Structure 1
Amino acid sequence: MTEPREQKPAESDTESVRQAFAAAARKAGIGQVAPGEVPTAGSLLKAVGGVRGLIEAILPGMGFLVIYTFTGNLVASVLAPVAVSAVFVIVRLVQKTPATQAFAGLAGVGISAVLALLTWRAEDSFVPGLIINVVSVLVLLVSIAVRWPLIGVIVGLLANDSHWRQDANKRRVLYIATWLWVGLFSARLLVQAPLYFSSNTEWLAATKLLMGVPLYAGMLWVTWMLVRWAYSPPASSTADDTA
């Protein structure tokens, strides 16, 4: 009797990395709906963090916009979002609920506040967001250039589908979905960068809110519909199965 062949360390390491990326993808917004599944309003709300997640994402930016518009006070405008985000973290810790998103929000507004206070320019609080958009565009474009579109990689991990690139329909749809995300981040830059360089802080804050969660949620919905179409069985196969 031959002994079972042990798994090679390299293969084991590769599988561990794949599983780690798959777990991360499931926690992302697109991971809330499985490929082929019909997206619902409930799943979309869950993808953006639920009602609490929406409040935590929108309220700090809204606080900055309102305070700066009506007072023009830089210190109050940038510190108010930090205080609000800190309250969200404390509430989650007291209630013993997952606080990762709240901590991330606090870190984001904290960095933004430090930048604005160091330069004494309110618009500099939006620099981290602009950088994130630039990096996102570059990462997506590189993934397309190397023929591994990022949305395809994520969906492949979620669906445990390592052969999606060999399916022409799936590959085409996932390329389109990745290009759409390139368009989203590029649109943010095209609108917000000129406002930043012209120091139009109030409009910059307003457009960041409008092009934040609402645009993100809309793009998630479109992506889910595209992925569902790509992973749905052909109509002819369905008809044959029911015959």
Structure 2
Amino acid sequence: MDPAAAEAARRAASKEAADTVLQAFGGVRGMIDMTLPGLVFIVTYNVTHQVSAAAWAALGLSALFVVARLARRETIQHAFSGVFGVALGAWIAMKSGKAEDFYLPGLLWNVGYCIALAASALARWPMIGVMLGPITGEMFTWRKENPGRLAAYTKATWAWVVIMGLKPVILFPLYLTHNVNLLGWLKVALGIPPLLLAMYVTWQILLKAPPPIKAPVDDEEEPAK
């Protein structure tokens, strides 16, 4: 293969691997599943001024997302994780009677997620690589056989730490002031845009990374008849 063709093939393989980023995070539908219940909560709370009504409305929408995915035989991973978070936030808010507590589990999860991302990068097991490896077919070959991709996954993971870390930095002070309206609207506003930015930055990093080395697949022998 001539150098130009080899370079074109390398770029195509890198782009194909980079394009898995959106898939790994549930696509646009997954982001909607995670964002709309928070919007429904704050709208319902402003209309009814009742924590329980707002909590049940958000929980009902999350459950509806799960049912819709099941009916279409789609993966419920992101919808189910969303309904779990909404259910926990709804339970805490109804127990305390404080509307702002609906957002507390999400804020704590975001802090824990950023800590886990940072720890994985420091341990040379960057979480972005762990998540994307099975999707790209490389599994964990990037750790020992492809140092360029290890570096790219590490860089992408640190990018997620910085971008996603901005959310709790902005939202936790609002939570402590008990300003439910501002907290709720900002939580919705900071739902999808930072996620899209983090995915775009990851996509750009992986476009310039070496293509993945596919993990070997053992061919299973057919049993003797």
When normalised by structure 2's length, the TM-score is 0.74
Other-structure match for 2:113? 136
Q: Does 1:176 align with 2:155?
A: yes
Other-structure match for 1:65? 42
C-alpha separation in 2, matches of 1:206 and 1:221: 24
Per-residue deviation, 1:146 = 2.5
Q: What is the Cα-based RMSD across aligned positions, in Å?
A: 2.9
Structure 1, gaps ≥5 residues long: 1-33, 234-243
C-alpha separation in 2, matches of 1:91 and 1:124: 28
Contact persistence 1:82–1:113 (CA under 8 A):
yes
Aligned pairs, number: 198
C-alpha separation in 2, matches of 1:57 and 1:36: 29
Q: Which amino acid aligns with 1:37?
A: K
Match of 1:125 among 99, 102, 114: 102
Structure 2, gaps ≥5 residues long: 1-11, 213-225
Deviations 1:11-55 (A, max 9, x none): xxxxxxxxxxxxxxxxxxxxxxx9712556xx7765553554344
Other-structure match for 1:24? none
C-alpha separation in 1, matches of 2:97 and 2:140: 50
Other-structure match for 2:182? 203
C-alpha separation in 2, matches of 1:142 and 1:54: 25
Per-residue deviation, 1:116 = 0.3
Other-structure match for 1:75? 52
C-alpha separation in 1, matches of 2:126 and 2:113: 13
Q: Which amino acid aligns with 1:145?
A: L
Q: Does 1:225 align with 2:219?
A: no
Contact persistence 2:21–2:203 (CA under 8 A):
no
Q: Which amino acid aligns with 1:102?
A: A
Relative distance call for 1:194 and 1:35 in structure 2 (3 A) is: farther
* Percent identity over paired residues: 33
Per-residue deviation, 1:188 = 0.9
Per-residue deviation, 1:232 = 5.2
Q: Does 1:36 align with 2:14?
A: yes
Contact persistence 1:144–1:150 (CA under 8 A):
yes
Per-residue deviation, 1:178 = 1.5
